[in-house]
Amino acid sequence: MAMPIEALEAEVLGLPSAERSRLLDSLIASLEIDPAVEDAWMKEARRRDEEIDSGAVQTIPGDVVLARLRAGLK
């Protein structure tokens, strides 16, 4: 009998982070991925990386972004 998703989620969240990461990689790899969509995301990632490298855009540290988001939710 299949395990209810809630029970499975609780089991997975109880794993060490390295194990959860490995499981996540495996689950993502198991999804059917449209090659055209994957290609578009790769092009977009490269474009953004080039913008950062060239100085055309400035990055914002993750902790600053999260603080701004949290402040906006209050």
> Is the whole model's pTM more than 0.75, yes or no?
no
Find the angle CA(65)-CA(15)-CA(8) to the nearest 5 degrees: 95
Domain count for the chain: 2
Whether 55 and 25 share a structural domain: no
21-73 pLDDT, tens digit per residue, is 999 999 998 998 899 999 999 999 999 999 999 999 999 999 999 999 999 99
Alpha-carbon gap, residue 11 to 43, rounded angstroms: 36
Whether 59 and 72 share a structural domain: yes
Instruction: Tell me what pLDDT residue 1 has.
Output: 66
Q: Tell me the residue range of the domain where 25 lies.
A: 1-31
Mean pLDDT of the chain, nearest integer? 94
Which SS3 state, helix, strand or coil, does residue 17 take?
helix
Whether 44 and 26 share a structural domain: no
Whether 26 and 44 share a structural domain: no
Confidence label for 2 from pLDDT (cuts 50, 70 and 90) = confident
